[in-house]
Structure 1
Amino acid sequence: MNPDFTAEYANKFAKGTLPDHLNIRITEVGEGLCTADMEISRFHLAPNGFLHAGSVVTLADTACGLACFANLPEGANNFTTIELKSNHLGTAREGAITVSAKAVHMGRTTQVWDATVSDKSNGKTIALFRCTQMILYPKA
């Protein structure tokens, strides 16, 4: 793990990008893990008034992606998502949601991350998420 890739650094790194626009805040980055929160605003909702699945997926994907970036193997300089899947089990309309991303596989060419998104007020699971990242190396 890159010891300089702290939660504070991750939030600065994401400044001006989609996670920043959606008010996603990284709360912890560590070896094989990342946590984040997102306060729900009207723009996170679908027209039917429920939390938009895209908002939930973006929170989970952000935590997994930043965790991957912080935990790149030696010599790697980047990654790209090659697959993601989510199961939506509940929703929220207000308050905040939180995510905990954990490494399942941290190989030299791929990483697999699982994330659980929950309602911050009651701990109810809103979504389960898994993504696979392809690890990128500088061209020779």
Structure 2
Amino acid sequence: MDKNATLNMLNKMCENTLNETLNIKYTDLGEDFLVATMPVDSRVHQPDGILNGGATMALAESVGSPASILAIDREKYSVRGIEFSANHLRSVKSGMVTATATIIHKGKTIHLVEIKIVDDRNRVISLCKITNYILANKK
């Protein structure tokens, strides 16, 4: 499958999900990374007008799990996130944030994925990690 077809497939899979609600869009991918964006506006703000950490984590999860999905045979395996951590380093009031997921350990049953989220000025706002369990599909 080519890059554009894969991005279209990922975005199509997200219709009627949290990704659609938060306007998360997959924008780029490569052999070892997946990128998505999310606009920062009042829909994802905390009451004090900055990006909610939960929305940031939803964006991170939205690239971290699919990064593993793209690295497995989906006919034989499924991906389940089993641990997630986030360090929020900077606040954002508006604009676009971009999350890049990179698999840093790709074992047979465990993937460790790092997700770096940056603002419009390419400043790191959050650094996240997800551990994905690779589960054999039942026959």
Q: TM-score, normalised by structure 1?
A: 0.91
**Aligned-partner SS, 2:51:** coil
- Residue 125 of structure 1, CA deviation: 0.7
Aligned length: 138
Q: Which ranges of structure 1 fall in alignment gaps of 5 or more residues? A: none
- Residue 48 of structure 1, CA deviation: 1.4
| Runs of 4+ off more than 3 Å | 2-5, 73-76
1:130 partner amino acid = K
- Residue 32 of structure 1, CA deviation: 2.4
1:76–1:33 Cα change, 3 Å: farther
1 CA distance for matches of 2:12 and 2:73? 22
Measured against aligned partners, the alpha-carbon deviations of 1:95-130 in whole angstroms (never above 9, x if no partner) come to 11001110101111011100110102x111100000
Matched-pair identity in %: 28
**Counterpart position of 1:38:** 38
- RMSD of the TM alignment (CA)? 1.7
Q: Write the mapping of 1:1-140 to structure 2, written as runs, cut at 5 A.
A: 6-73=6-73, 76-120=76-120, 122-140=121-139
Which range moved further: 79-88 or 21-30? 21-30
Q: TM-score, normalised by structure 2?
A: 0.91
For the 8 Å contact 1:24–1:59, the answer to whether it is kept is: yes
